């Protein structure tokens, strides 16, 4: 080996203690590799530290953003809540204003309607009255012409008109601007009852309509149990008589079907087991018994009336015609 090569191969390594050491090329390469490895390790550590730092930073930033979003969402909800409250308050105020305006209009309308002569009554019309005169109905109502159409109380007028026993129902209608219609439903007298030399007219519901000396062409009912002092216009028969009246109505229906009802003069209900019908034109009294089997009984009555025409007497159909009893006629001696 030449001297030059030897100088290249040998290097001097100076230590801190001032000593010198000769190194070979291999030693130098190993030392360089060791330094490079240490450098790489340092770089890796630094990279890991930077990555960890970046992750923590992102985490912190992410949490911060979430908190901001949450806070903004909370603020938005609070704003929306406040906005809704304001809207409700505005709507409430608008409703109150509308109600106040409406009340003002109504009050103004009422004042105008009750004060304006346009609405003074000019005509009072009574409808469907036959027995009670229009003058009587108007007088009972208390409604007067030239009175404001809105000032009278309908319920009070109706109650007053119903004081007349013939009036069953009343409807009062205001026809704007100045007309009143009073529609009445009248009770119709169906029978009469003798009371102290006079006659009391009653309808099918047992209401006493009128007491008068004038006798209408109505069947007279004898045997009423209601006390005479209780028979007054507008009152009603007592319970026992009302039960008997139901039977009388069944008898009435049977006679109408047989076309004999117009000949009935009076009906005696004093014996609940033997209702009797007097026919003045035929000069006969019919003993019906109770109200059972009326259709069959009427067939026998019609036949006997035909066979015993113009003969005064009594017809008996007051037994059980479905068994051994047979209808018969007994001439008056």
Q: Are residues 108 and 162 located together in one domain of the fold?
A: no
324 vs 158 pLDDT, higher one: 158
94 located within any domain: yes
CB of 269 within 8 A of CB of 223?
yes
pLDDT of residue 91: 86
111 vs 278 pLDDT, higher one: 278
Buried b (16+ CB within 10 A) or exposed e, 239-269: eebeebbebbeebbebbeebebeebbebbbb
Overall number of domains in the chain: 3
Q: Are residues 210 and 260 located together in one domain of the fold?
A: yes
Residue ending a domain, among 115, 141, 175, is: 115
Domain with 268 in it: 191-331
283: alpha, beta or left, given left = phi > 0 and alpha = psi -120 to 50?
Answer: left
CATH of the domain at 172: 3.10.20.310
Q: Give the alpha-carbon dihedral of 242, 243, 246, 251, to 10 degrees.
A: -120
Residues 6+ apart with CB under 8 A from 307: 329
Tell me: the pLDDT tens digits for 221-273?
999 999 999 999 999 999 999 999 999 999 999 999 999 999 999 999 999 99
pLDDT of residue 11: 45
Tell me: the pLDDT tens digits for 40-90?
777 776 666 555 555 455 554 556 666 777 777 787 777 787 888 888 888
pLDDT of residue 112: 59
What CA–CA distance (Å, rounded) separates 137 from 166?
11
Among 118, 130, 128, CA closest to 179:
118
Q: Are residues 35 and 110 located together in one domain of the fold?
A: yes
Q: Are residues 315 and 233 located together in one domain of the fold?
A: yes
What CA–CA distance (Å, rounded) separates 305 from 286?
10
Query: SS in 3 state form for 133-155?
Result: CHHHHHHHHCCCCCCECCCCCHH
Q: Give, in degrees to the nearest 5, the angle at Cα 206 between 201 and 208.
A: 40
Residue ending a domain, among 186, 212, 234, is: 186
Where in the chain does DSSP place strands (E)? 11-14, 20-23, 123-127, 167-175, 179-186, 191-195, 198-202, 208-212, 220-222, 266-268, 275-279, 284-289, 313-316, 328-331
User: Model-level pTM?
Assistant: 0.64
pLDDT of residue 32: 75
Q: Are residues 85 and 200 located together in one domain of the fold?
A: no
pLDDT of residue 15: 42
Lowest mean pLDDT among 90-94, 139-143, 159-163: 90-94
Q: Are residues 154 and 211 located together in one domain of the fold?
A: no
pLDDT of residue 250: 95
Lowest mean pLDDT among 33-42, 98-107, 117-126, 233-242: 33-42
pLDDT of residue 19: 45
1 located within any domain: no
Q: How many CB atoms lie within 10 A of CB 204?
A: 15
Q: Are residues 305 and 204 located together in one domain of the fold?
A: yes
Residues 6+ apart with CB under 8 A from 128: 183, 184, 185, 186
Provide, rounded to the nearest whole percent, the portion of the chain with pLDDT above 90.
57
CATH of the domain at 310: 3.40.50
Residue range 182-210: mean pLDDT, rounded? 95
Residue range 217-221: mean pLDDT, rounded? 94
6 located within any domain: no
Q: Are residues 79 and 30 located together in one domain of the fold?
A: yes
Positive or negative, the Cα torsion across 225, 227, 232, 235?
Answer: negative
188 vs 50 pLDDT, higher one: 188
Whose structure tokens read 């009248």? Answer: 186
Alpha carbon of 306 to those of 60, 172, 254, 297: distances in Å? 123, 52, 18, 15
């Amino acid at each position: 080996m030449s001297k030059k090569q030897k100088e290249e191969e040998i290097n001097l390594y100076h230590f801190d203690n001032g000593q010198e050491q000769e190194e070979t090329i291999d030693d130098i390469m190993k030392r360089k590799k060791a330094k490079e490895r240490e450098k790489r390790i340092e770089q890796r550590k630094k990279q890991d530290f930077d990555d960890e730092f970046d992750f923590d930073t992102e985490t912190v930033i992410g949490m911060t953003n979430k908190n901001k979003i949450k806070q903004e969402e909370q603020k938005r909800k609070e704003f929306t809540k406040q906005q809704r409250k304001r809207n409700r308050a505005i709507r409430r105020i608008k409703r109150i204003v509308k109600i106040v305006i409406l009340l003002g209009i109504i009050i103004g309308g009422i004042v105008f309607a009750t004060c304006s002569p346009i609405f003074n009554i000019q005509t009072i019309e009574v409808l469907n009255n036959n027995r009670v005169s229009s003058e009587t109905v108007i007088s009972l109502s208390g409604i007067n012409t030239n009175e404001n159409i809105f000032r009278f109380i309908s319920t009070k007028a109706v109650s007053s008109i119903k004081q007349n026993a013939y009036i069953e129902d009343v409807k009062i209608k205001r026809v704007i601007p100045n007309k009143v219609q009073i529609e009445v439903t009248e009770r119709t007298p169906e029978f009469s009852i003798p009371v102290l030399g006079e006659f009391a007219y009653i309808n099918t519901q047992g209401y006493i309509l009128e007491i008068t000396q004038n006798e209408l062409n109505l069947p007279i009912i004898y045997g009423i149990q209601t006390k005479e002092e209780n028979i007054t216009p507008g009152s009603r028969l007592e319970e026992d008589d009302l039960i008997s009246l139901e039977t009388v109505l069944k008898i009435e229906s049977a006679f109408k079907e047989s076309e004999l009802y117009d000949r009935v003069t009076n009906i005696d209900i004093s014996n609940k087991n033997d209702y009797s019908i007097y026919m003045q034109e035929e000069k006969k009294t019919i003993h019906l018994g109770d109200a059972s089997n009326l259709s069959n009984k009427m067939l026998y009555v019609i036949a006997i009336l035909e066979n015993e025409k113009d003969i005064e007497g009594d017809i008996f159909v007051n037994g059980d015609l479905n068994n051994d009893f047979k209808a018969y006629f007994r001439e008056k001696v």
